[in-house]
Amino acid sequence: MTRITRRHFLQASAAAGAALGAPMLARESMAQELSFQPEPGAKLRVLRWKRFVQGDEDQWLANTKKFIEKTGVEVTVDAENWEDVRPKAAVAANIGNGPDIILSTNDDSHQYPGRLLDVGDLCEYLGKKYGPWYPSALAYGKSGGRWIAVPLGSGGNCMNYRASHVKAAGFKEFPKDTDSFLKLCQNLKKNGTPAGFALGNATGDANGWCHWLLWAFGGRVVDEQNKVAINSKETARALEYAKALYPTFIPGTLSWLDPNNNKAFLSGEISLTANGISIYVAAKNSPDAKMQAIAKDMNHAAFPVGPVGRQTLSALFFTCVIFKYTKYPNAAKEYLRFMMEKEQYEAWQKASASFVVQPLAFYERNPVWTEDAKNTPFKYTCKNMLPNGYAGTMGAASAGCMADFVVVNMVAEAASGNMSVKEAIERAEKRARRYYR
């Protein structure tokens, strides 16, 4: 298992920054080329998530078509909702049958690392050619020092807001601290232009902002020794803040899944939420004049900094895993190598309007980050985010807690008043201990 402490995270970030001092194109030209010879008659089944941005899926399929034409390998790509991919991946791992490659979410792959093909040769190649890998990518891609997954990138995660409504609420710029953020949400509510943040079992949106909230106040599920530490005064402070924040939300957020806040924002029901870039892309690309007006008025900003005094960003992470049961391991590796090379990866990022943020420093150069200033705030999501399981070890326990929505449910229970802060923490602690034994 890979342990990422704050000290290690900062050291790795510094190393990544130092590596960027050398010209990126020089790194690319110096890398020794690698390819895998597909097995005769190879056929691959790939399972990925259903797109939130149409260009994402369209370009992924276009790149796949290029791979098929180049190699002759037959590839079938299926798409499922995020919440459906997780159980299908777990079943495939347990029974030893299913898709050859799965585009997985968060640290799901750490629940069954022994069932996954070692992709160290591929990841080391990519790291030398396009790296360095960001610290979060190392955390999600490795288990016990072994590469179990190819990091694909993170979902961008920023505050999405209507600029005119924030200005009307008395703020010239988006708040940078949690006290001011609370005041903004209270003023938006008074003006009839409320905020809305997912508190249902939403894999991306709810986990993202609820973990930010917990970490912003110094709370954490486990400490550096992997001991459950969620029952703390810092967690209590985070939940007291959530109780003050929740009344500013539009009704119904307790049942919101990932699509709900997108729909509420685009319908004009809310003026502020946490999300990737999909809301903006949908509004910008719509032929509807009202939607285009929303795109023109909206913007993105980093999450406010809490009492800990530093950014505590959390975001959805995507990896590509190859199961050991595949009959065509070389073909599977070659497919992922092809998809991660700049000709395909940069085109995919551009087509998806940066919905997935790169895990490799080289791709910071992609013009998608500068051609529209509203894309730019997402650029360093993957570089700056803290991994699941912070501040302890990523593994089956962290993946279990995330999949079971331990933090999200705790925040929802306390914020809504369905439980007292003390009761919500104690229940979360009990649930976490089931995984961290």
Condensed to tens digits (0 to 9), the pLDDT of residues 393-432 reads: 899 999 999 999 999 999 999 999 999 999 999 999 999 9
Nearest to 316 by CA among 413, 239, 408, 248: 408
Taking residues 265-278, report their average pLDDT.
Answer: 97
What are the structural domain ranges in the chain? 2-156+315-380, 158-313+404-435
Tell me the percentage of the chain whose pLDDT exceeds 70. 93
Report CA Rg, the chain: 21
- Residue 403 tokens read as 């999949």
pLDDT for the residue 297? 98
Query: What is the distance between the alpha carbons of residues 181 and 328, in angstroms, rounded to a whole number?
Result: 51
pLDDT band (50, 70, 90) for residue 1:
very low
- Residue 126 tokens read as 């990519």
Contact yes or no for 336/40 (Cβ under 8 A): no
Indicate if the pLDDT at residue 3 is higher than 50.
no
Report the top-level CATH class of 2-156+315-380.
Answer: alpha beta
pLDDT band (50, 70, 90) for residue 122:
very high
For residue range 299-313, list pLDDT tens digits in order: 999 999 999 999 999
pLDDT for the residue 58? 96
pLDDT band (50, 70, 90) for residue 22:
very low
Mean pLDDT of the chain: 93
Tell me the percentage of the chain whose pLDDT exceeds 90. 88
Torsion of CA 387, 389, 392, 398, to 10 degrees: -140
CA dist list (Å): 148 to 141, 195, 340, 358, 362: 6, 39, 16, 18, 22
Cis-peptide, bond into residue 132, ω within 30° of zero: yes
Indicate if the pLDDT at residue 284 is higher than 80.
yes
Phi and psi at residue 29, to the nearest 5°: -70, -25
Question: How many alpha carbons lie under 13 Å from residue 296 in its C-beta half-sphere?
Answer: 6
CA dist list (Å): 418 to 182, 195, 406: 21, 20, 15
- The one-character DSSP state at 328 is -
Per CATH, 2-156+315-380 and 158-313+404-435 having the same topology is answered: yes
Indicate if the pLDDT at residue 295 is higher than 80.
yes
Helical residues (DSSP H) of 197-341, grouped into ranges: 205-216, 233-245, 258-266, 278-285, 289-297, 329-340
Query: What is the distance between the alpha carbons of residues 390 and 346, in angstroms, rounded to a whole number?
Result: 30
Taking residues 129-139, report their average pLDDT.
Answer: 97
- Give me the architecture of the 158-313+404-435 domain, per CATH: 3-Layer(aba) Sandwich (3.40)
CB atoms within 10 A of CB 237: 18
- Which of 81-85, 167-171, 278-282 is the least confident region? 81-85
pLDDT for the residue 30? 52
CB atoms within 10 A of CB 170: 11
Nearest to 56 by CA among 76, 88, 79: 79
Query: What is the distance between the alpha carbons of residues 147 and 359, in angstroms, rounded to a whole number?
Result: 14
Measured distance between the N- and C-terminal CA atoms of the chain, rounded to whole angstroms: 15
Spatial neighbors of 42 by CB under 8 A, at least 6 apart, are: 73, 74, 327, 328, 330, 331
pLDDT for the residue 28? 57
Indicate if the pLDDT at residue 341 is higher than 80.
yes
For residue range 201-255, list pLDDT tens digits in order: 999 999 999 999 999 999 999 999 999 999 999 999 999 999 999 999 999 999 9
Taking residues 182-189, report their average pLDDT.
Answer: 98
195: amino acid identity, one letter = A
- Which of 1-5, 34-38, 365-369, 422-426 is the least confident region? 1-5
For residue range 359-390, list pLDDT tens digits in order: 999 999 999 999 999 999 999 999 999 999 99
pLDDT for the residue 21? 47
